[in-house]
Structure 1
Amino acid sequence: MDHSFGQYKVLIVDDDQHILDLLNVVFENEGLSNILNANNGEEALYLLKQQDPDIVLLDVMLPDTDGFTLCNQFRQFTNIPVLFLTAKTSDLAKLQGFNFGGDDYITKPFNPLEVVARVKAQLKRYKDVTPSSSKPSHDFGNFQIDKTSGKLVVDGIRIECPAQEFKLLLYFCNHPNQILSKQKIYRDVWGEFYNGDSTVMVHVRRLREKIEKDPSRPHWIKTVRGLGYIFEDHPTGEKQ
């Protein structure tokens, strides 16, 4: 058993008690014993605000709402990782999940050990982008990214940024003025073998909506047709 994850608090939201019981047992056996359970959206929102979990497993179909809408509400309060659990397997459903601020997408039926592995991977990544560090923040004029607190500030306003988007933005900031293929980005940021364009494209679009004055004509994250993306660190530090 890996006890290094015992400090983390996991919120599981599902109206199927059998799934809750199964995941609770497996998670505890794998060293994640601090588990919160919710059967509906109202309970989930209450626990999110009162218990401050580190990660959420979220069913898409709930009795009082849907997981996509609920995730959008979560993003008003937190940027912790959110992993969708759902029987919907279409690419459109997965894109919806990412569009509403999800960080990963697990289809039912699932292997519970795979769920644990994905949760641990997201927790590691989230911890990596919010370390205790004395290194200065990245400052690009109209937006700043603070690695210590995990904050994104655009034009003086803090913008909530899901963990995976934050890690992708930090990755771009750490690799300025380099053409980065989608395959390389996915491998380095997601830590998995490349599985298609949609995941990277959706996350880049969401970042552009946060940091660009005109997302359709990006100033920072630019597309290099046929090659990938480039984050242009403008030497004059000019604002948009």
Structure 2
Amino acid sequence: MAADTRHVLVVDDDPTVSDVVRRYLEHAGLRVTLAADGVAGLQAFREGAPDLVVLDLMLPGVDGIEVCRVLRSTSDVPVVMLTALGEEADRVLGLRVGADDYVTKPFSPRELVLRVQSVLRRAGAAARSAPAEVLTDGGLVVDAGARVATLEGEPLALTVREFDLLTHLLRHPGRAFRRAELLEEVWGWNFGDQSTVTVHVRRLREKVEADPADPRRIRTVWGVGYRFEPVEATVA
């Protein structure tokens, strides 16, 4: 398979898992760097500037949650987190600190490759084809072309998925979306855990709402999903 310039950092302390993941990702044409713990993973990220990070939740020393927090403080690099089967609280926590997707252990290496390719494809397509439009809602400003969002003049630290979700909602003010619709239209998945959408909506509310517990913009439509209720929406 032709070499791919895209670079994936895999942070996992299990050498068997790391080796299998590396072989499957390389077979898919991706360039791979391995790190065996959180400290080494952060160092490899700083040195290698990967396009995506596959991050195990349970790492010795600095765990995956803390690594993800550190990454999110400086970068919007996509993160696919590996979590234990049945540990829903861990999956939700991973999404809350900024993971873009997760795969539960034990997992199919082919499924992981598909998830990695999906996240990379979505991030790449967004960067290449974002229309030159600016969406506003009161003090909330989203420049879709530059992929920059601000609230009252202050920049918002949004992950790739959060930015895409906010932009999608802003483009369709007043429309109620089912979680499955958002999963397909924003994530590009026709399968997957819809709690992913729920967690990302919660994270967005924490960043764009004055009171996340009583949201004015991103409203819950009971029995359906979510609707963006603009304070003042225009497209320039």
TM-score exceeds 0.5: yes
Among residues 42, 55, 67, which one is paired with 1:70 in the alignment?
A: 67
The alpha-carbon deviation at position 215 of structure 1 amounts to 1.3
- Whether 2:190 is the aligned partner of 1:170: answer no
CA distance in 1, matches of 2:104, 2:232: 44
Unpaired stretches in structure 2, ≥5 consecutive residues: none
Q: 1:18-68, CA deviations, whole angstroms, 9 ceiling, x for partnerless residues?
A: 222222221111111x21211111111122222211110001111112111
**Unaligned residue ranges in structure 1 (runs of 5+):** none
CA distance in 2, matches of 1:138, 1:186: 22
Name the SS of the counterpart of 2:206 in structure 1.
helix
Distance 1:224 1:114 in 2: 32
User: One-letter code of the match for 1:106?
Assistant: V
Distance 1:228 1:14 in 2: 35
RMSD, aligned α-carbons: 2.0
Asked if 2 retains the 8 angstrom alpha-carbon contact of 1:80 and 1:126, the reply is no
Q: 3-state SS of the aligned residue for 1:184?
A: helix
Amino acid at match of 1:116: V
User: Structure 2 counterpart of 1:107, which letter?
Assistant: T
**Post-superposition shift, 1:14?**
0.7
Shift, 1:236, TM fit: 7.0
Correspondence 1:212 to 2:209:
yes
3-state SS in 1 of match to 2:33: strand
1:99-178 to 2 correspondence within 5 Å?
A: 99-131=96-128, 135-178=132-175
Counterpart residue type for residue 71 of structure 1: C
Match of 1:36 in 2: 33
User: Which of these residues, 218, 221, 225, is aligned with residue 228 of structure 1?
Assistant: 225
Structure with the larger strand share: 2
Deviations along 1:100-158, whole A, 9 cap, x unmatched? 21111111222111111100000111123323556122222312222233222222222
* Count of aligned residue pairs for this structure pair: 234
TM-score computed with the length of structure 2 as normaliser? 0.90
Task: Tell me the distance in 2 between the aligned counterparts of 1:104 and 1:197.
Answer: 11
Structure 2 match to 1:11: 9
**Distance in 1 separating the partners of 2:173 and 2:26:** 42
Alignment check: 8 A CA contact 1:180 1:230 kept:
yes
The CA deviation string for residues 145-204 of structure 1, in whole angstroms up to 9 with x for no partner, is 222332222222222211111111111112112111222212222233455552222111
Identity of aligned residues (%): 36
2: distance between equivalents of 1:203 and 1:192? 15
Of the three residues 15, 19, 22, the one matched with 2:20 is 22
Give the distance between the partners of 2:175 and 2:131, measured in 1 at CA.
26
CA contact (8 A) 1:10 1:55 kept: yes
CA distance in 2, matches of 1:217, 1:178: 19
1:202 is the counterpart of 2:199: yes
Whole-Å separation in 1 of the counterparts to 2:6 and 2:145: 18
Question: Match of 1:109, as an amino acid?
Answer: P
Q: CA deviation at 1:235?
A: 4.3
Supply the AA of the counterpart residue of 2:149.
L
CA displacement at 1:91 relative to structure 2: 1.8
Find runs of 4+ consecutive structure 1 residues off by over 6 angstroms.
none
Range with greater deviation from structure 2 (186-195 or 5-14): 186-195
